[in-house]
Amino acid sequence: MRVIHMNGCSNRFAIFDGRHANAPFRPQAEQIRHIARPRSGESFDQIIGLENSERGDVFMRIWNADGSEVKACGNASRCVGHLIGKELGQPDIKIETEAGLLQSYMNDDGSVTVDMGSPLLSWESIPLAEKMDTRGVDVKIGPIDAPVLSRPACVSMGNPHAVFFVDDIARFDIPSVGPLVEWHPLFPEGVNVGFAQVLDRETIRLRVWERGAGLTLACGTGACAALVCAARLDKTERKARMILDGGELVIEWRESDDHVLMTGPIEMEAEFNQ
């Protein structure tokens, strides 16, 4: 089977192309964990399986490093858009995922734009365990009388996100607070946890503790989630530059059709057969 290593803003993926194999790539969770986080050697944030699709040019299956299968991965969508676009010799590609059909576009400067569709804003769609206003939900982290984090905004991009807006992102030890939110009882399916510092109305500094993968150098759906929550709270415009540890993404929550567009670089690292 053909294996490709790629990254989007240093969010790293191992992509297994099962489209011409005798059977689709459907590993057990333990196998995923072994590939993503080997005892030695390079690690990956997500493992991606490519399958044939009736509705699109390719079907993309996504597993987090902990072995859990999930429905959306923005940076991997951009990598797959590039891979299949090059293969088919066409810039526009339809990627089928468990969350629906995504459209990707290869831009002249080598970046890739993916239309992630509309954000889901209702408490049931995140999902939350109970009815709440998703512009600020009832979560407090830290001492009861002086929480260090509270009232994240929530949105689903096909996967659940909680975004804390903070004054100084450097103040937070994300590996210690991230897990406290990731599996908080308010999020029955877990949640990706964003820490967003609004620098101005068109720039956000963002770090994300990802569900099932931990602190990654970039999170595409996390960047979409942070922009949607910021614009919804009138902290930014509907288009902004997202500055992540591993690079920059431009996110636009388009007014005309309510779709969220994510644009950024991709990098082909290696390709081999195994």
Considering the complex, what minimum distance in angstroms separates the CB of residue 22 from ligand API?
28
Which one of 9, 79, 219, 229 is the catalytic residue?
219
Considering the complex, what minimum distance in angstroms separates the CB of residue 157 from ligand API?
7
Site string for ligand API, 92-111 (x = CB under 6 A): --------------------
Residue 88 neighbours by CB distance under 10 Å: 12
73: annotated active-site residue = yes
Cα separation, 157 vs 159, in Å, equals 5
| Beta-carbon contacts of residue 85 (< 8 Å; ≥ 6 apart) | 91, 92, 93, 104, 106, 112
Contact between 220 and ligand API by CB under 6 A: the answer reads: yes
The binder of ligand API chosen from 46, 103, 113, 236 (CB under 6 A) = 46
Alpha-helical (H) ranges within the chain are 29-36, 74-88, 174-182, 220-232
Query: Could you tell me if 111 and 48 are in contact, meaning their C-beta atoms sit under 8 angstroms apart?
Result: no
Cα separations in angstroms, 6 against 58, 94, 227: 17, 19, 25
The binder of ligand API chosen from 61, 184, 207, 211 (CB under 6 A) = 211
Contact between 159 and ligand API by CB under 6 A: the answer reads: yes
User: Given the rule CB under 6 A, which residues bind ligand API?
Assistant: 11, 45-46, 64, 70, 73-75, 159, 192, 210-213, 219-221
Residues labelled catalytic: 73, 219
